A and B are shown apart, each in its own frame.
Chain A
C-alpha cells in the first residue's frame, strides 16, 4: 500500500507558541489530504480537507485561523497550530488520497502536548 509519513510523531510546546506538523505522501501524488483530530478513546474527527493549490475546506466548528493548513505540493500538506493552548493538546492525524481514487492512507499521527 501507499505510504504517508507524518512528522513529528510527538511534540511538546509552550502555551502561546505555534507548532507545524507535516504530512507527506512518499510514493504517490496526493490530490487530497485530510486532517483529523482524535481525543482519547474517541473516534477521528475531521478538521479540514485540503486540495493541492487551493484553500482548505474546514469542517463546521474548526477555527481556520487557529489551524492553518497549507497544501503547497502534491506530496506535502502542513497543519500549523497557532498560539497553542493546553486545550489544543490532542492526537492529530493526516490522511492522503491520490489520483482520483477513494482509498485513504494515514500518517503515523502527532501527539501534541501544550504546557
Chain B
C-alpha cells in the first residue's frame, strides 16, 4: 500500500513564528488532505489539495503530485495552532479507495 511520511515528527515554536510541515508519499494518489487534530481529538479539515497551492488565512498548502510531496505552511503561529497535523492521501481506486494517514507532526506553540 501507499506509504505516507511526515516531517518533522515534533516541532516547538514561539508564538509569531512561521513553520513548514512536509508530507511525502510513495505512489500516485487521487487526492490529499491536511488535518489538524485538536486536543479533544477532533480532526479539522484544513485543505483538500490534489495539486497546486491553496491558502486559508495564515495557513497555506502546496502539493506537487508529480514529485509526490505536499507542504503545509503556518505563518504567524498562535498558541491555538498547537496540536497534531496529519497528512492523508487517497489511493487511486479499488482496494486503495481509502485514506492513508501519516504519523503526524506534533506542533507546540508557546506564548
Contacts and interface: CB of A to CB of B under 8 A. Distances in A.
B36 to A, nearest CB: 11
Nearest to B40: A108
Contact of B101 (A1, A32, A44, A109): A44
A68 interface: no
Contacts, number: 46
A103 B101 contact: no
- Majority secondary structure of chain B interface residues (helix, strand, loop or mixed): strand
Interface in B10-52: 30-31, 33, 35, 40-43, 45, 48
B98 to A, nearest CB: 6
B57 to A, nearest CB: 15
A34 interface: yes
B102 interface: yes
Interface of B: 30-31, 33, 35, 40-43, 45, 48, 86, 88, 90, 97-104
Given A43-B103, A102-B30, A103-B48, 8 more contacts: A1-B45, A32-B97, A43-B101, A44-B101, A46-B98, A46-B99, A104-B88, A106-B42
